[in-house]
Each structure stands twice: as C-alpha cells, then as structure tokens.
Amino acid sequence: MSLHLQSLTITDQFWSHYRELVRTEMIPYQWNVLNDNADITIEKERNDNSIPSEKSHAIENFKIAAGLKQGNHYGWVFQDSDVYKWLEAVAYSLSIHADTELQELADGVIDLIALAQEEDGYLNTYFSIEEPERRFKKLAESHELYCAGHFIEAAVAYYESTHNEKALQIACRLADCIDASFGKGEHQIQGYDGHEEIELALTKLYSLTKEQRYLNLSRYFLYERGTDTTFFARQQTEDTGTKPVIAGMSHRPLEYYQAHQPILEQQTAEGHAVRLVYMCAAMADVALLAGDTAMLEACRRLWKNMITKRMYITGGIGSTVDGEAFTLDYDLPNDTMYCETCASIGLIFFAFNMLKNEARSEYADVLERALYNTAIGGMALDGKHFFYVNPLEVRPENSRKDPGKSHVKFTRPEWFGCACCPPNLARLLTSLHKYIYTVQSEQKAIYTNLFITSTATLEIDHHKVQLEQTTNLPWEGHVSIVTQTEQPTAFTLALRLPYWADDYSLIVNGEHIEAENINGFLHIDRVWQSNDKIEFVLPMEIKQYTAHPLVRADIGKVAIGRGPFIYCAEEVDNGEHLHLIQLNKDQTYQYTFDPQLLGGIGTIHVEARKRIITSQWEDVLYASQAATTYAPTTLRLIPYYCWANRQSGEMRVWHNQT
C-alpha cells in the first residue's frame, strides 16, 4: 500500500503571475544586483552605520575566494547566502520552465563555488579571504553553518531539477567537513551555529542521499543547542581575532539564539524570529524522519505559544527591532514591530513540516495567512522592490524623524545592505507547488492544504492518479477537483476547511454529501474513477476580526478580512490621519473586484465617520471639555499585500470601532 506525489503543475491565474514575475524579473534583477551591475540605491534596513550598503559584492567575493580576483571581502559575513538562495530559486524555476541560458548561468555559478571550496570541503568566502584561522571559532556570530545550510538546500534543489551532480558533490563535501568538525569526539567542536539553518538543510540532504550521517548530524545540532550555556562565551574568550565578526552581537542574550535551554525544555517562542522558525522547521523535519515523538511535542508547544500569543493577524512574527525578535505574550505593537519577511517565510516552512507530521488545518491556515499577507507583501508588484519589515501601521513622517521607527519603511527599497529577504521570496514562490498537498501514505490520504489551480500526479499502489484543481481563489470561493485514474482506485481526499469560512457546500458528481471533519479537514473516502468531480463552495464573507483583550495595541479596534486576505486602509484612498476614522460595529461592507487597480484586486468599502479637528484645537494640546465632531466618510480598503504600490502615505490595518 503506497501513495506518492510525483509532480505538480500550477496554472493558477494569481500565482502563475507571481511565479512568472520571479522568472522574468526577480531572478535577472537579483543576478545583476549580486554582480554589482544594477543601477540601484541600496538602503540600510535601519539607522545603523555598521550596515554595509554600498554594494552587494556577493559574486565578487566568490571570485576572490576562488583566486580569480584580488581584493577583500565586502558585505556581511553571511553575504554568500544571498547567492545560494538565488541559486535555489533558479533551481525551482528551471523545474517549471526550461531555460538553457539561465541553466548555463547557474552552472557557471556552481563552477565558481567549486573553485572557492577548500580542499577539506570548507566553504565560506569571508573566512577563506579574511580570517582562515578563525574557522568555526566564533560561531555565535560567524554564520558559517547558516551559509553552508543555504548552499546545501540550493544544491539539493538544483540536483533534483537539473541532475547537476557537481552541486551535490560540493554539498556532500561541505556536509562531510562539518560532520568531521562537530560532535562529541576527540578534537571535535561540541557546539552549534548562532543562526539555525544547517539543521534544516541536512534533513533535505539526507532525504535525497539516504546518508544516515546527515540526519544524525542535524539531530545532533538540535539536541546540542542550549545544553552548554557557556559555549558561546567560551569561544568568545578563546577567540584570538582582533575584531568582532559582527559588531554589536556580543551582548545578545542566549534567548536570542534559542540557546538558553535545551530545545525540549523551551516553553515559549524566544529570540530572533527567523532563527526560531528555522529551528522549529528543522525540528519538525527531524521528528518526522527519525520518528522522534519528544521533538514533535516540543514543536507543538512552541507552535502553540507563537500562534496563539505572539503572531500578528497578517502572519508576521517578531515584535521588536531590537534583535528582530519576539518579546512577550500579547505584545504586538503595530507601528514599531518587526515582522521580517524572512520570518514569515520561515513560519511557512515550519507550518508545512508540521503538516507532514500531522494533518491539522491550523498549520495550513497559518501557512496560508503568512503566504497571502506578509510574504508576498514583502515585495512590490514589479518584483524589484522589497520590504525587510512589514508594519501594520505607518505614518511616513514618523519613520523619517523617529529613530525608534527608522526600520519601518513606507515604500519598498530596491535592495538592502542585509539582503536576506529578496532571494528568500524568490525561492519560496518558485517552490510554491510543494505546499499545495501533503500525503499520508499509510492512510492512503492526500490532504489539500492550499486551493490553487493546478494538476497533481500521484502514484497510488503503482497506479497513476491525477487531481485537476480549478479555482478563482483568492477572490472567489468555488473550488473544483476532477480525478483522472488508470483504474478505479480507493483513497481519501481531504479538503481543508479554512478558518475564514463559517460554512461550506460539498458536492460529488452532482450530489450534496456530508464529510467527516477530522482536525479541520473534510475527509472524502471512496473508490475514485476518471472524471469524478468534487465541487467545494466556500462563502467569501467579509469578516471583522478583534484581537485578544490583552493585545493592548488593538483594544477597541477591528481588522477586516475576506478569504485569506487581511485588508488595510491607505492614505491615497482615504486622506491623511487614518487614526481619526471610526467604524460602526454593525456597518455593512461592500466588496467589489476592480480589474484595473493594482493588477486586479478586490476592494472593500464601508461607511464610517471621521473626527474633525475643529478650531478649538488651535494652539491647544490638551482640553478638559472638548466637543467632538464627526463627518461621514467612506473607508476604502485594499488587500494588505499590495499596499505601498502607488504613492507613499499612511497605512493602517487595525481601525477604531465605535
């Protein structure tokens, strides 16, 4: 008895546009930036003079490390990872759309990386060029294993797409170097990297090669984290370098690195948000591959804390710029938050790996929330401008003049000194097909996580089955799935009932049916034949969301959503001082699809009132008996993902309610 997902092709109008945008715009644009051939302005992601923002220099660093050029390393110590994530995006793109020229370009990058790799398999341009004697000696700051992980992920994807063995050989040599260097043996380093990523990459390398050492090494890094709380401090003391690898990191608490406790003892989502979700994604993968129930339980615990107490309604995580980190339960400020694009991408990875362990709709709900709001909101509609930080409330003047809000941009820059997010988005969007379904082979069940027009080919007990999914989501709530089979085949098709749908209609071959709801998935068990048709209708009602009463920033406010989208108000549609607008609790909302606006989007209109600043406030800051005057207005809302694509101005997700 077996069930395997063999291939999946996306033909969805909404998502095909994004994937084509990556192929035709983002990948070439990012290549030019990485080669310093783009005439752009590189911005610092916040007011910090230590951020290198003159150029990328990423490809040049490899040429210097390979001995092809002379010079010094420029950029962050983790600059290599920008190239690796770009390469991974190329790999997925090539699996979708054959492109000989692009493949030759990527092959050339792999050749360059091979030249930069040292004889023992070590690979890192900063340390090879500048400080080879400090290899693996400053792991809290060095990002060596973080960069290694991103190359390994890229190599696995590139091999699966193109069968390029050179990339895989580099990755295996690199993994073998790390395996020889780390562990509990004599002369090995009993420690781990300050930024999780290698752990996730090693599970992918294991899944491809079936080399048990790689899974064991991933498990070692996870279980070693937090067991010796003096490890980073001892490396700091023993370090013979004359300068920090990354200035200002020595003061970070162990929570920043998720190194304050062993992973099985950690109760809450702490520290740098990207690190936390990368760690959790790896934990979930290891739990699945190694059958580690204790690790899976730890994942559930961290998931619950993060999703029920520390996540924004847009799927953003990270409440403070200080450490790009979590803070405490229910602390979710809207105008000083961080909500890094990479953090939401990492949350998607975590959610999907939890889905592979256990089919619970809450994981797919969060995946969808992060994907449709913060993730794609992190890029402009032209594919060439990007947000590092994704605010829920913006006033441009505050960002310009308040140092505490310098990280909150009101337009998307062309590139960043720390450019982790743009290529991360590219690799997410080109790999989107991986997230639509998960399969449980033993139960002969396929779970529909996302509703995206696509064709999936499965093998069930050595017979091919196709699922042809058609939908106009995210704008309309009708989904149809047609099966094609070589012969009548028994399996379970489970459809997610999204959090935003209060009701549904389910029709199979023209007959309304009831389906058992198991953990948020509607299970349809039958013997399927060619041209069997499921129609799944989800009402797309406009929702008013309120936050938990302990979220102080949102008390007395509502956010508006429809389907997977959270909506926001912009100054360009509603005038300035959005905070003066109030919504009535029982007001009726009107939805309209505007094909001419921002590439075609659904807009929401609602009658509201706006407070008038009267003459009594001239030269007065505080008053004890001020009269309050309002004027009627119509509030226009657009999906959050497409804000800041017209002109700069205020933006707001949470609105005052009377």
- Closest by CA to 224, choosing from 252, 188, 248, 271, is 188
One-letter amino acid at 511 equals E
CA distance 140 to 151: 19
Is 649 exposed, middle or buried (CB count within 10 Å of its CB: 0-12, 13-18, 19+)?
buried
For residue 296, how far is the Cα from the chain centroid? 21
Active-site residue, from 130, 153, 324, 368: 324
CB 363 within 8 A of CB 288: no
Positions of E strands within 396-539: 415-416, 437-440, 445-448, 454-460, 463-471, 478-485, 489-496, 505-508, 511-512, 516-518, 521-528, 533-537
CA atoms within 13 A on the CB side of 75: 27
Q: H/E/C letters for each residue in 533-549? A: EEEEECCCCEEEECCCC
Give yes or no: 131 in active site. no
Using CA atoms, how far apart are residues 74 and 566, in angstroms rounded to an integer?
Answer: 39
Q: Which amino acid is at 101?
A: E
Structure tokens at 644: 């800041």
Burial of 426 (0-12, 13-18, 19+ CB in 10 A): buried
Among residues 299, 420, 568, 642, which one is catalytic?
420
- Residue 112's contacts (CB-CB under 8 Å, 6 or more residues apart) are 59, 62, 63, 66, 68
Q: Is 420 a catalytic residue?
A: yes
For 615-640, the DSSP string reads GGGTT-S--SS----EEEEEEEEEEG
3-state secondary structure of 210: coil
Chain mean position to CA 412: 17
Strand partners, 455: 9, 468
Active-site positions read 324, 420
